[in-house]
């Protein structure tokens, strides 16, 4: 589902752990998810949520949201593939997640409206 030239970005506000640089390329992103995220996030609950008008994921432990993940898509003909993954980890922004309206930016980044 990932385009070969996809990228992954994260926003932590420097307050929690998150990838700092933009990860580029399907192989790099898949290795990051497999090697870094799969074990700690396997212990958390993932729920589907509409984010930026498309299907996204919330990563939660009990009532605490650890991350909100949104996706950007590229369509070629009748095929849509994920071109961007944006992981919101900034605790101040996540605290307002349930009570705020979120809008899409061109990059797939979550923006509080």
Whole-number percent of the chain with pLDDT over 90: 47
Q: What pTM value is reported for the model? A: 0.80
Do 113 and 103 contact (CB within 8 A), yes or no?
yes
Its sign, for the CA torsion 70, 74, 75, 80, is negative
Total domains present in the chain: 1
Distance in angstroms (rounded) separating the CA atoms of residues 53 and 66: 21
- What is the model's pLDDT at position 99? 57
- Report residue 62 CA to chain centroid gap: 19
Question: How distant is the alpha carbon of residue 57 from its chain centre?
Answer: 7
Q: Name the phi and psi angles at 88, rounded to 5.
A: -90, 120
For residue 42, the enclosing domain spans 2-112
CATH code where residue 65 lies: 3.10.450
Distance, in Å, from the CA atom of 39 to the CA atom of 25, rounded to the nearest integer, reads: 22
Q: Is residue 101 pLDDT above 70, yes or no? A: no
Report pLDDT for 47: 87
């Amino acid at each position: 589902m990932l385009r070969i030239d996809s990228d992954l970005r994260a926003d932590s506000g420097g307050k929690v752990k998150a990838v700092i640089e933009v990860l580029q390329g399907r192989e790099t992103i898949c290795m990051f998810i497999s090697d870094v995220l799969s074990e700690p996030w396997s212990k958390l609950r993932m729920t589907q949520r509409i984010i930026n008008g498309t299907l996204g994921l919330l990563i939660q432990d009990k009532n605490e949201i650890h991350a909100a993940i949104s996706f950007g898509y590229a369509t070629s003909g009748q095929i849509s593939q994920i071109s961007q993954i944006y992981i919101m980890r900034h605790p101040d922004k996540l605290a307002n997640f349930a009570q705020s309206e979120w809008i899409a930016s061109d990059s797939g980044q979550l923006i509080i409206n």
